[in-house]
Homo-oligomer: A and B are copies of this chain.
Amino acid sequence: MTQPCEQISPATAPGSREHYREVRARTEAIAAPLTVEDHVVQSMREASPTKWHLAHTSWFFETFLLARDPRYREFHPRFRWLFNSYYNAVGDQPERIRRGLSRPPLSLVQDYRRHVDGAMLALLESAPPDLRDVVVLGLHHEQQHQELILTDIKHVFGTDPLRPGYRPDLPAPRSHPVALELRPFPGGIHEIGHAGAGFAYDNESPRHEQLLRPYALANRLVTCGEYLEFMADGGYARPELWLSDGWATVKERGWHAPLYWEKDETGWRQLTLRGLEAVDPHLPACHVSFYEADAYARWRGLRLPSEAEWERAALTGSEGASGEGTVYESGPLQPQSAVEASGLRQMVGDVWEWTQSPYVAYPGYHPVAGALGEYNGKFMCNQMVLRGGSCVTPGSHLRLTYRNFFPPDARWQFSGIRLAHDLTD
């Protein structure tokens, strides 16, 4: 089987033809283990079929780069409309729930990719710098969708009664106990946000000062074993532990465990990308909503970190974070136990960590002009920030300033829990 992911070589120039080729090839490598049928199914409104992801990422380059070129010959007259996700400035778009279409067939979408690739590689021979920025954005966009292909196909498999695995041949995750400790961090005025030359989304800017109070952060993620204790203690049946909207959600949807967990005569099992497996108490808890993360923290007498707390701690307290967590390229595509160490562990590349911060604009934020301004800015309401990246996030896509965001009831992302609490001065 094709190895789905290889690291983008650090030597590759951002936005170069090599960069473009590497990212695009990886998307196809991720889709390679799937059957044609797997590419088609949309299991819920929020998730998209793989075939759609393959087309939409090409649409992005076509719409924001190629369409500006009068010599470009469009592949299909309806694709500009069909594969628009939510860019109103580009035009109307199909209803989100209507992405599970049989046509165009996968082979035609693959032709579409090749068509776009040909035109893009020609363009990249002599792309001016301002286009180069859009190319880099498009490649990061594509990396986001690489992660979404995996989260969304997992949801397809999670709603399939046969509970298939994506790749049963994946390696087993590292598993052993690590003691939970809370590491102190100082208060004061600190800068957060992106600055400098590297790529970042517009929502990570401007870099700005935030006032923090002394706090502590857990050295590792909450484990499945710890989460099972919460469940055993009636966590899903005690309204005092939950936000009001969270409690309503628990009752309405009948939640009683993380997504993808199910109980049989052998105990709790969870669907991973390898298939259905016993829940391992040493592994990080995953596929919990913000509501569950918040309730768990309250049950422990602690809280979730703010995104500023998380970012400052990640910058200063993380030992070997980038080396440890980026399991994506060769890893088991599920979070694994931390490597024992004195600092913070599992900050990057294990699970997206829910913060207590609603997703709002940084002070002085302005979206970029035009349709690309819709990329991040218009979602700044009713969502919570998640930090750190997950085991299915491409390693070269992550940054400590990265702000991911999902509604508080979302569970199908690889999302977990890191605990925090207040320190008195």
Q: What residues make up the interface of A, taking CB atoms closer than 8 Å to B?
A: 35-41, 51, 78, 81-82, 86, 88-89, 94, 98, 100-106, 156-157, 159-162, 164, 189, 208-211, 213, 239-240, 242-247, 290-291, 294, 356-358, 360-361, 363-364, 374, 378-382, 408, 422
Contact = CB atoms under 8 A, between A and B. Distances in A.
How many copies, total? 4
B37 A102 contact: yes
Contacts of A290: 381
B88 A161 contact: no
Nearest to A243: B381
Nearest to A82: B161
B102 A244 contact: no
Contacts of A156: 102
Contact of A159 (B98, B356, B357): B98
A35 B159 contact: no
Contacts of A51: 37
Given A78-B162, A101-B162, A291-B381, 11 more contacts: A36-B36, A37-B37, A37-B105, A41-B100, A101-B161, A211-B211, A245-B379, A245-B382, A247-B378, A294-B381, A358-B360
Contacts of A380: 243
Nearest to A244: B378
A197 B356 CA distance: 30
A103 B37 CA distance: 7
A379 B244 contact: yes
Nearest to A407: B382
Contact of A162 (B82, B86, B356, B363): B82
Nearest to A294: B381
A104 B40 CA distance: 13
9 contacts: A36-B36, A36-B37, A37-B106, A38-B103, A40-B102, A189-B189, A208-B213, A291-B381, A357-B360
Contact of A211 (B35, B189, B379): B189
Given A88-B239, A243-B379, A378-B244, A41 B38 contact: no
Given A78-B162, A100-B41, A189-B211, A381 B246 contact: yes
A161 B382 contact: no
Nearest to A366: B422
Contact of A105 (B35, B94, B247, B408): B35
Contacts of A189: 189, 211
